[in-house]
Amino acid sequence: MSTSALLQLRGIDKSFGPVQVLRDIAFSAHAGEVTALVGDNGAGKSTLVKCISGIHPPDAGEVVFDGRPVQIGSPRDAADLGIEVVYQDLALCDNLDIVQNMFLGREKRSGLVLDEAAMEQLAAETLAGLSVRTVTSLRQHVSSLSGGQRQTVAIAKAVLWNSRLVILDEPTAALGVAQTAQVLELVRRLADNGLAVVLISHNMNDVFAVSDRIAALYLGRMVAQVRTTDITHAQIVELITAGRSGALGLSAEDHTPYADTTSGADR
């Protein structure tokens, strides 16, 4: 496992008009690990992801990527760093095949024409590198794929571009038991291949099955970021619903978050 964070957020604030959505957020994601980002609806998960991916630049705070401060002012800035997001709607085109979807907007050309052979080869290599065996033909239209296969294509598309950090928004939300297991295996494989993975999920069974660390948001504040092995299911539920669980989370006196318990030498 990584000894230092690939991505670190320090003191991130974000407001929309008079409403402060994120307050003094500290967060880290490590190469070779899955960090689960959990929180109730309205806790600020989507806004935090949009700050990381350049859609909403933060109002205050510092973003450190691979040891150096960076400004992520647009999705292009995020992509240039190797940050990719797979949103819940997957952003796939049903009328295109797998290869066309994976290269959509980033097509390879040979002169004035598309280099179909090169794109198909790279798509095949990417899927093979992720040990994906559920897709029978790269020229299948996405409309013919199952939910799990669609999720697989969307994840493969995200890692095709030399990604270093992949954020997955509820990747198993609409899947059955077997397809969920396949996607979770793929999520774990991403981390095992050296990527930093941020998994957003409401499913605590998925979170505990695949994550190395869990970061809990409560009403726009990061109330804990702990190793998965150091916390229980019940404690996470308390952090999500009340902002504190025992010594973890917001203090009763001043409601300031405790420090990240995974910081320091154990990272």
CATH of the domain at 230: 3.40.50.300
Domain boundary among 129, 157, 185: 157
Is there a domain that residue 225 lies in?
yes
Any domain includes 2: no
- The answer to whether residues 71 and 184 belong to one domain is yes
Do 66 and 128 reside in the same domain of the chain?
no
Which one of 157, 172, 201 terminates a domain? Answer: 157
Claim to verify: residue 105 and residue 208 sit in the same structural domain:
no
State which of 127, 157, 187 marks the end of a domain: 157
pLDDT tens, residue by residue, 81-101: 999 999 888 789 999 999 999
209: in domain:
yes
Q: Which residue has the tokens 């993975």?
A: 197
In this predicted structure, the answer to whether residue 264 has a pLDDT above a threshold of 80 is: no
Query: What tokens were used for 207?
Result: 């979170």
pLDDT: which is higher, 46 or 260: 46
- Does one domain contain both 188 and 206? yes
Range of the domain at 103: 93-157
- Asked whether residue 119 falls in the same domain as residue 250, the answer is no
Using the predicted structure, report yes or no on whether residue 254 has a pLDDT greater than 50.
no
Query: What does the block give as tokens for 6?
Result: 């690939």
| Pairwise CA distance, residues 212 & 78, whole Å | 24
Using alpha carbons, list the distances in angstroms from residue 76 to 32, 70, 171, 175, 244: 24, 13, 23, 30, 37
Distance between CA 158 and CA 22 in Å, rounded?
26
Residue 199 has pLDDT above 70, yes or no: yes
150 in the same domain as 62: no
Smallest CA-to-CA distance from 14 within 1, 23, 5 is with 23
Looking at the fold, whether 205 and 256 belong to one and the same domain comes out as yes
For residues 101 and 78, state if they share a domain.
no
What's the start-to-end Cα distance of the chain, in Å?
8
The answer as to whether 88 is a domain residue is no
Establish if 143 belongs to a structural domain: yes
pLDDT value, residue 196: 97
Judge whether 24 and 41 are in contact, CB under 8 Å: no
Weakest mean pLDDT among 25-29, 70-74, 192-196, 246-250? 246-250
Cα–Cα distance between 258 and 235 in angstroms, integer?
A: 15
Strands 113-114 and 109-110: antiparallel
98 plus 69 within the same structural domain: no
How many domains does the chain fold into? Answer: 2
pTM: predicted TM-score of the whole model, two decimal places:
0.88
- Measured between alpha carbons, how far is 87 from 173 in angstroms, rounded to an integer? 11
Place of tokens 């040979």: 110
pLDDT for 255:
52
Q: Do the domain assignments include residue 1? A: no
